[in-house]
A and B are shown apart, each in its own frame.
Chain A
Amino acid sequence: MKSTRTIDIHHITRVEGHGNISITVKDGRLIEARWEVVETPRFFEAMLVGKKWENAPWISGRICGICSIGHTLASIRAVENAFGIVPDEQTASLRLLLKHMETLQSHVLHLYFLAAPDFLNVGSVFPLINSHPDVVQRAAKIKQLANDLCDCVGGRRMHPTRTVVGGFTMLPEKKELVRFKERLNEIKTDLLDTAELFRSFAIPDFSRETEFVSLQGNGAYPFIGGNLVSSDGVVKKEQEYAAMTNEYLVEQSTSKWSHLSRPSFAVGALARLNNNFALLNPAAQEVSVSFGLKPINHNPYMNNIAQLVECVHVVLDSLRLIDELLGMSWKKPRHPAVPKAGIGVGAVEVPRGILYHCYEFDDEGRIVRCDCVIPTSQNHANIQHDLSALAEQCASQGKQDREIELLAQMLVRSYDPCISCSVH
């Protein structure tokens, strides 16, 4: 067939925010593939200017409803780093537990509600309520546990109320933590069943070599703070984040883009796993290997599997954390903050990749300058390059429009993009 065909997907579904895909193929050759981000900007970086430090976590958490806990923790860390506050062990463990449950909640939401329908040939999770009730109930059960534990530690599953600079406004009851231990133990089998489900899916066979950026684990699989690392060998300090992200503006996007050693890089579960595989819990490593997922894996669709592996890791690590917390006698939940002039950076691994908040303060603790670099904005260039390579491969194989359309959407969904977050 000799012709020019264009595949246009306006506002791709089952992703957070608004993005378009456009692919033009002529006589079996790719003319252009474009990933466009059309989300409206909300101007958080301007909004915070002039505000006192205590506003930052509360307001900037509203950048994203899905990873509001991650944003809140990155913001708190940036403020604490600027003021020279080091969280005590109790606060650090509670924050990590909270972080783990956000990771679990978000990954399960993505794996079951956003990604799985493609593999099961339906348009959404809703038809699965009747056709696969056990699958939907399992997803709901895991998500509910994660969200309930977020409520218990953070006060609220979305836009948390207990997380503040200097610690927490109040602490969970230990007997509640004991109950959560039981529930965490219970869902281990649900996670193995999740792995079984994904083993039955045909993950598209596509690879394109790229660079992976994440926190660098130091004795533990990394989530909050520390050095930054890339699979091409770049290592930077947390406060040097701007040299890692190199943001720039492009015509096709209201979100900024990033690059490092190559034209694009990737962040997220696959990047974390590629860079820190040896630090995963052994049981999580085992699941990973059973899918043939070992570092360095360059198939972007495997980000789904990397998320699954991380679900196993965070559940097992949460059990460890709860034991550790139960062994501590509760200390004062919160330490006072004394503002001072300076710059603070907070780097946190949120479900979709590494997130940075950076604030500059005057001597009364008012924000003079604010910068937030979002995981999805770091991924946009990589999505664009993947999309071009995928479309070219599909065109040369003579694939039908329907198939190209599906593969392209699945590619974008694999990144689990949070588009409104990326524009913010």
Chain B
Amino acid sequence: MSVVARLSANVRRQGEGLDLALPYLLLAPAVLFAFAVLVYPIWDGIRASTMSYRYGKAVGWVGFDNYTRLWSDPQFLNALWVTVSFVALAVAFETVLGLALALFCANEFRGVRLLRGILIIPMVITPVVVAIVFRLIYASDAGMLTVVSQSLGGGPVEILGHPARAFLGLVALDVWEWTPLEFLILLAGIQSLPVEPFEAARVDGASPWRVLLDHTLPMLKPVLAIAIVLRTIDAFGTFDQVFVLTRGGPGEATKLLSIYGYDTAFKFQDTGYAAALFVTMGLLILAAALAAVRIMKGMTPP
């Protein structure tokens, strides 16, 4: 028998019976698990969004009625608007601030390691705890802001009871908590940039400002885009802090989609409508993320 023939016989024997099935058998538990915790809930949510519920019980199939209802529901449109402005404002601040801190901490100086460590702390605190701490700061009777204001001779500071200030207060909380994430991603990005082009730019006559605009930012674009997309997706789903601080109030001023959806599902027991809301929200985020990735691809040279 020639060598080639013997080898191919071997191959055939190897591909028989258990050998063929083994990879699939090994994969099966993981696939089942993924189905149970990922695919099934999503599927169930989509199914629920096409049903009508009364007192928490499904009473019939209504097709896309829940979805069409959303777009004529002023509360939903308001929640969508509040969410989009919250996300835009928070992520913008977080990115600019995170970038500034990252640029500063990318330099080597005494104590920079400690500073980097301290800057990450807000991110690792449990969100609900952060919210409680901020409630202590914002409280109008004995909150920190009021105490400081009074010691300076001013009056009590009303934050959470005032629509615009409550909204900005939540943005401030989000910025405090999540700027560290942007900082961390961007710091890693900056530190992985090559050193030589920056030296070349300095020799070529660029001022620090020009170096930032002409080199740092363009080279950082992909990382910057990832940081922004990541934060945007995450900010869309903000819930705990708002729930603890304002529950969406005063009025509808801080009613994010997540809070409105929660109310719909658990206060008004309109599970189908809430499911439609969350599926829509998921699709919006997905569309935004895809658009962002598209733009990112367009920005990076071939």
Do A and B actually bind? no
A interface, CB within 8 angstroms of B: none
